[in-house]
Amino acid sequence: MRSHRRLRLLAPFLLVPLISSCFSSGGDSASGSGSGSGSDGDGDGSRLRVALAFPPAENLSPYGADATLLSRLGVTEGLTSLDANGSAAPALASSWQRKTDTTWTFTLREATFQDGSEVTPKAVADSLAHAVGAEPAPAALSGVGLSAEADGAEAVTITTDEPDPVLPLRLSSPSLAVLSAKAYAKDDRVSPVGTATGPFEITEVNGSTSASLDRFDAYWGGRAQASGIDARFIADGTARANALRTGELDIAEAVPVSQAATLDRETRRDTATTRTTSLLLNSASGPFKDAGLRATARLALDTSVFAKDVYEGYADPGAGIYGPAVTWAAGKRADPVGRATAERATGQTINLATYDNRPELPEVAQVVKEQLEKGGFKVKLTVREYSRLESDALDGRFDAVVLARNTLLDTGDPVAVLAGDYGCDGGFNIAQLCDKDVDRAIATAEKSADSGERQDAAMAAEARVLGTDAVLPLVHQRIITGVGRGVRGVVLDPYERALVAAGTRR
């Protein structure tokens, strides 16, 4: 059996670093991602009450799914970040320079860890070494040979085994957050509690129910406007919307489209994201091992109904792996290559699965079920909470999975999601796809350093992936964020890495 926890080398996209992030913010024009010191007020604001859709799944480990939870709450940071254009921007590193094909130097800004220790070159190098040695490896580093060492009093030198012309983009991954030595004191786990560098510090975690965070007054970007965060993990989307509407919350992420109309217009924000909802077909076993039956499933789907009906206009029709938020993709998209001829379905039983953390997905899956049944299949539908579904999906225990996937979340690189999700050695290959033509196209894209050439190669690889019918894009999502009256500076991030920042306040 192939390993589903390994990724091939993921060389990120060549993009020019910008000085500041410019995501839109919910509320007024104050930046949600900039320094708190630049906005009005003295930083003594009220605590923020925030509801997140996904509870901690891995004891707040920065190396897995919880990494984005930490970054969305303003706890962790890396050497770099992503700006609104998908470019690498300064974070803990104020600048960087490529010395050779495999060597980079990152100059650090003056910053302090939440435990009071200084962010030194040695501390950064040690933190990256822990990430490199993690099992399973963070998605941004799986299959990548990388080492870091202190370079004088202000810089870190990072060396890769192979040329990686856009290493700064890779280092923006939330799973590569820089933590102090105290985070690694226990051999069995990494703890971000009181060891990160962001504007908010975790002070208490109550299992999968809630967490408390206080403002970190020594934050390098300026004192946060809110005095702290009371975070609740509420998987039920209707409950999140109700709590916002009744004034129990200031911010509710991922409001279901079915609840959008219950919120006043001024309390809801919809943001185009790089998240695509797709139907993934198990190409290694079961009925959909047959490419002809995968083609039959594709032809049975009427994808026009998902954006219009299920998402009630808060989405765009599925066009490919990359949606409208990846602004360059539409003009470079090619027709799928190598599609098989459809075969007649003769009542084959399909085990279809999805999860309910994103409340539209069960409805999407129900529509998919009905359409596949009209196409001649018999369909059994399983709906679980995501943490109870992922391992079975990765092990290929379902014939089909409806999944909402942010294509640029892990590394910011469009090629990375192809390698990780559809390459033979992909670490998130729910479709169980292993196709030599797909792997060859991905490998070609990975070698491209020029931004335009890399985009062209990524779209050529997408055409090969879509040609297998192992992934059938259904819809490109817009995420609805509930923002209470008077709340300012909520970060509306198309990459879904940020939500609360130093400038967020009420």
pLDDT category of residue 323 using cuts at 50, 70 and 90:
confident
Taking the domain 54-233, which CATH number applies?
3.40.190.10
pLDDT score for 12: 32
Reading the block at residue 266, the tokens are 């001024």
Q: Report the amino acid identity of residue 250.
A: D
User: Please, are residues 430 and 2 in contact by the beta-carbon 8 Å criterion?
Assistant: no
pLDDT score for 4: 36
pLDDT in tens, 281-312: 999 999 999 999 999 999 999 999 999 999 98
User: Please, are residues 319 and 333 in contact by the beta-carbon 8 Å criterion?
Assistant: yes
The angle subtended at Cα 358 by Cα 474 and Cα 420, nearest 5°, is 60
pLDDT category of residue 20 using cuts at 50, 70 and 90:
very low
User: Please, are residues 318 and 277 in contact by the beta-carbon 8 Å criterion?
Assistant: yes
- Cis-peptide into 317, omega within 30 deg: no
- Tokens 């839109």, residue located: 24
Average per-residue pLDDT for the chain: 88
pLDDT score for 34: 42
User: Please, are residues 223 and 217 in contact by the beta-carbon 8 Å criterion?
Assistant: yes
List C-alpha distances in Å: 30 to 14, 93, 360, 397: 30, 24, 31, 47
Reading the block at residue 281, the tokens are 């077909």
In angstroms, rounded to a whole number, what is the distance separating the alpha carbons of residues 324 and 273?
8
In angstroms, rounded to a whole number, what is the distance separating the alpha carbons of residues 228 and 130?
29
pTM above 0.95, yes or no: no
Does 8 score more than 80 pLDDT? no
In angstroms, rounded to a whole number, what is the distance separating the alpha carbons of residues 217 and 227?
9
- Alpha carbon distance, N-terminus to C-terminus of the chain: 52
DSSP E strand stretches across 219-295: 228-233, 251-252, 268-281
In angstroms, rounded to a whole number, what is the distance separating the alpha carbons of residues 302 and 371?
8
pLDDT in tens, 103-148: 999 999 999 999 999 999 999 999 999 999 988 888 788 667 899 9
- 220 conformational bin, left if phi > 0, alpha if psi -120 to 50, beta if neither: alpha
Residue range(s) of every CATH 3.10.105.10 domain in the chain: 273-478
In angstroms, rounded to a whole number, what is the distance separating the alpha carbons of residues 330 and 459?
9
> How far from chain centre, in Å, is Cα 492?
14
Query: Pick the residue with more confidence: 17 or 170?
Result: 170
3-state secondary structure of 338: coil
CATH architecture, domain defined by 273-478: Roll (3.10)
Query: Pick the residue with more confidence: 65 or 44?
Result: 65
pLDDT in tens, 64-82: 889 999 999 999 999 999 8
pLDDT score for 135: 84
pLDDT in tens, 371-417: 999 999 999 999 999 989 999 999 999 999 999 998 877 777 788 88
Residue range(s) of every CATH 3.40.190.10 domain in the chain: 54-233
